[in-house]
């Protein structure tokens, strides 16, 4: 007991201020030992509650020490007089037991309830997630099933109702996307009872109305490209191409030019690996076409696609080169830069109004080896002489279907007749270009043909025609990129060497639509002795080429016979399968027909041994002139009659 008392004395700490205040109120009446025990227990409990509210951590330690000392005092009192305080012992003992039991029961029940609550919540979360996943899977499957049956082509009544109102662009766009989706997986997504042709026809109508194309042009594009690629192409036509400039190596270097322009606030970068002189402009704080460097001829604003024909031509120094359609001078100045102002360049332009821009650019760029001339390109072989130059660049006039971004009017202005006229002119020009080139040139003998068109009749059909009419072959262009040309397109079949030609598209190469072909002249002989002027008399197999009709042949024969007299008129008409009134009696065979194997008009005068004699070029040209005069007179008469009415 003494040891316990000493131990309690050592552990006992001085009372707190609150306890001292409570002692002040109780010192007046001295309690006995039994009351002191009860008071100590009560004070301890009250002190613990108050101290827990005010100071949580520090006061807990003090309360623990006081509690130990107080319980020691109580034990001392109970030892001294056990008989006097039986109720206190029972009360304290019962109180401690009850507290321990309550704390154990509450702690056990709390821990059990917490564990069960956590497990229940986790199970509920897992079940909710599983339900959400099942719902998502079911919804996805439902959407897939609905999508397969979602789109249906509009009926005739619906289309008629749409035509009566302004076009609904949102509806058109949605229908175009749905048709493209169906055509990309036609077997699984097609509507029962409808064919692919029905979807294609509806797609043509929607594209024409949404993007503003005419029926002809959108039909050609649909035939050329798959639907997904077609949409990419049409969208690319709606966006502008990057602005490019070409460094004039006669006056500057690309690195120096880039540094100077960047200091002026021009954001630019190298065009690509395939060009050593090109720069692409992303943004500029100054006008690109009005800088001192531009006016000094350090660079030329030129589309990336216009670099390609000159790169394919690859002119050498001290050569004779012809640019048959030179204005405004971008390609001509590039050729002069590659030739380092040596040799001779004949820059021809048929339109006199465009000669100003051509000569101005030649002077600005410092070109000194160029002769500017104003001739029809078909007449150049007569002017410059046949087999007289080393290389010819023919950037032929075309329909411009590859530069819709620059000229949106092409969407509605071009028709099949325009394509046919361009193709006919291009065939005449390419024959003239081939005739000017010398096949025996040591460094040359090449012709580069290019257009800014995407039409097959203006590109592959023209090259295939040249292969049949002249002793030339298609050689690689020297360009590492680009799509190969067509060797078959729908019903047309072209020479297999046309794979060496190159096509460039806006949606693939981010430049204007372009076509480039390079020809090598093998000999100066002609496969078929026909001049470029007579090219229009040649009957083409397929595509938009102009042919001589039977009526034209009859008229020319009649005009030719009038000059010779009427003696042998009946006999010659009968030999050609014609009656006296100029009508066809029967379809003549190839032997009896008034044309040769080369489709030239056969002369009506034949010898006894049936040797064929052909009219001279002069006679044919005279006949054509007379025909043209007659047509002009008829037009004038028709106009006068309309005016009189």
Is 328 marked within a binding site? Answer: yes
Strands 446-451 and 391-395: parallel
Name every residue whose Cβ is closer than 8 Å to that of residue 525 and which is 6 or more positions away in sequence: 471
DSSP state of 305: G
In order of 61, 324, 370, the CA distances from 430 in angstroms are 109, 10, 22
Residue 452 catalytic?
yes
Q: Closest Cα partner for 234 from 246, 225, 244?
A: 225
Q: Closest Cα partner for 449 from 221, 367, 470?
A: 470
Count Cβ atoms within 10 A of the Cβ of residue 305 and give its class: 0-12 exposed, 13-18 middle, 19 or more buried.
buried
Name every residue whose Cβ is closer than 8 Å to that of residue 351 and which is 6 or more positions away in sequence: 327
Is 325 marked within a binding site? Answer: yes
Q: Closest Cα partner for 463 from 436, 434, 503, 427?
A: 427
> Please, what's the b/e burial string for 599-615 (b: 16 or more CB within 10 A of its CB; e: otherwise)?
bbbbbbeeeeeeeeeeb
Q: Closest Cα partner for 293 from 328, 261, 332?
A: 261
Is 349 marked within a binding site? Answer: yes
Count Cβ atoms within 10 A of the Cβ of residue 249 and give its class: 0-12 exposed, 13-18 middle, 19 or more buried.
middle
Q: How far apart are CA 6 and CA 72, in angstroms?
A: 10
The first and second tokens of residue 565, run together, are 């007299």
From 244, 398, 422, 452, the catalytic residue: 452
Q: Closest Cα partner for 345 from 305, 306, 310, 304?
A: 310
Q: How far apart are CA 239 and CA 406, in angstroms?
A: 10
Q: Closest Cα partner for 52 from 39, 67, 37?
A: 67
Beta bridge partners of 243: 281
Q: Closest Cα partner for 469 from 515, 403, 420, 536?
A: 536
Is 327 marked within a binding site? Answer: yes
Name every residue whose Cβ is closer than 8 Å to that of residue 359 and which is 6 or more positions away in sequence: 372
**Contact, 500 vs 475, CB < 8 A?**
yes
Q: How far apart are CA 380 and CA 137, in angstroms?
A: 73
Is 150 marked within a binding site? Answer: no
Peptide bond into 328 cis (omega under 30): yes
Q: How far apart are CA 101 and CA 15, in angstroms?
A: 30
In order of 183, 342, 426, 556, 643, the CA distances from 539 in angstroms are 38, 42, 15, 16, 38
Alpha helices in 296-345 (DSSP H): 307-313, 330-339
Is 376 marked within a binding site? Answer: yes
Kindly state the helix (H) or strand (E) to which residue 446 belongs, with its residue range.
strand 446-451
Catalytic residues, by residue number, are 452
**Which residues fall in the annotated binding site for S-adenosyl-L-methionine?**
325-331, 349, 376, 395
Binding-site residues from annotation: 325-331, 349, 376, 395
């Amino acid at each position: 007991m003494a040891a316990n008392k000493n131990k309690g004395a050592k552990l006992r700490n001085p009372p707190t201020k609150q306890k001292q205040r409570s002692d002040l109120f109780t010192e007046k009446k001295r309690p006995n030992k039994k009351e002191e025990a009860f008071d100590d227990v009560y004070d301890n409990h009250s002190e613990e509650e108050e101290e827990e509210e005010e100071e949580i951590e520090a006061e807990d330690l003090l309360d623990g020490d006081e509690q130990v000392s107080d319980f020691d005092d109580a034990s001392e009192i109970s030892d001294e007089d056990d008989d006097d305080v039986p109720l206190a012992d029972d009360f304290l003992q019962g109180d401690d037991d009850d507290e321990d039991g309550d704390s154990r029961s509450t702690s056990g029940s709390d821990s059990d309830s917490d564990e069960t609550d956590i497990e229940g919540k986790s199970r509920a979360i897992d079940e909710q997630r599983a339900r959400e996943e099942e719902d998502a899977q079911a919804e996805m499957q439902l959407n897939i099933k609905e999508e397969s049956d979602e789109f249906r082509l509009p009926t005739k009544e619906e289309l008629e109702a749409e035509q009566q109102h302004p076009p609904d662009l949102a509806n058109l766009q949605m229908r175009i996307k749905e048709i493209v989706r169906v055509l990309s997986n036609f077997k699984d997504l097609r509507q029962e009872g409808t064919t692919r042709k029905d979807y294609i026809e509806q797609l043509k109508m929607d594209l024409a109305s949404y993007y503003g194309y005419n029926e002809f042009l959108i039909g050609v594009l649909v035939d050329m490209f798959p639907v997904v690629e077609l949409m990419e192409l049409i969208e690319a036509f709606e966006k502008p191409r990057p602005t490019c400039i070409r460094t004039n190596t006669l006056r500057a270097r690309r690195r120096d030019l880039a540094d100077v322009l960047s200091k002026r606030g021009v954001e630019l970068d190298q065009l690509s690996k395939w060009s050593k002189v090109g720069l692409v402009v992303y943004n500029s704080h100054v006008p690109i076409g009005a800088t001192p460097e531009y006016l000094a001829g350090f660079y030329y604003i030129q589309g990336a696609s216009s670099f390609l024909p000159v790169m394919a031509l690859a002119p050498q120094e001290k050569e004779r080169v012809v640019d048959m359609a030179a204005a405004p001078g971008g390609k001509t100045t590039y050729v002069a830069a590659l030739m380092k102002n040596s040799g001779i360049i004949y820059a021809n332009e048929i339109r006199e109004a465009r000669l100003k821009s051509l000569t101005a650019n030649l002077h600005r760029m410092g070109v000194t080896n160029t002769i500017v001339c104003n001739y029809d390109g078909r007449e150049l072989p007569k002017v410059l002489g046949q087999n007289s130059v080393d290389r010819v660049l023919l950037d032929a006039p075309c329909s411009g279907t590859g530069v819709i971004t620059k000229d949106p009017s092409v969407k509605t202005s071009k028709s099949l007749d325009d394509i046919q006229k361009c193709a006919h002119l291009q065939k005449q020009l390419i024959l003239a270009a081939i005739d000017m080139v010398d096949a025996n040139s040591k460094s040359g003998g090449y012709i580069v043909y290019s257009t800014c068109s995407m039409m097959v009749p203006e590109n592959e059909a023209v090259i295939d025609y040249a292969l049949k009419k002249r002793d030339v072959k298609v050689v690689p262009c020297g360009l590492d990129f680009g799509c190969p040309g067509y060797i078959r397109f729908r019903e047309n079949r072209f020479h297999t060497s046309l794979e060496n030609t190159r096509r460039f598209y806006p949606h693939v190469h981010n430049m204007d639509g372009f076509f480039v072909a390079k020809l090598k002249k093998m000999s100066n002989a002609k496969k078929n002795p026909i001049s470029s002027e007579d090219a229009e008399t040649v009957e083409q197999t397929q595509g938009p080429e102009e042919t001589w009709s039977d009526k034209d042949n009859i008229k020319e024969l009649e005009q030719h016979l009038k000059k010779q007299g009427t003696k042998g008129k009946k006999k010659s008409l009968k030999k050609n399968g014609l009656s006296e009134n100029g009508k066809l009696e029967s379809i003549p065979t190839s032997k009896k027909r008034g044309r040769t194997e080369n489709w030239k008009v056969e002369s009506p005068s034949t010898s006894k041994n049936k040797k064929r004699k052909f009219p001279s070029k002069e006679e044919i040209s005279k006949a054509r002139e007379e025909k043209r005069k007659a047509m002009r007179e008829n037009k004038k008469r028709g106009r006068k009659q309309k005016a009189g009415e």
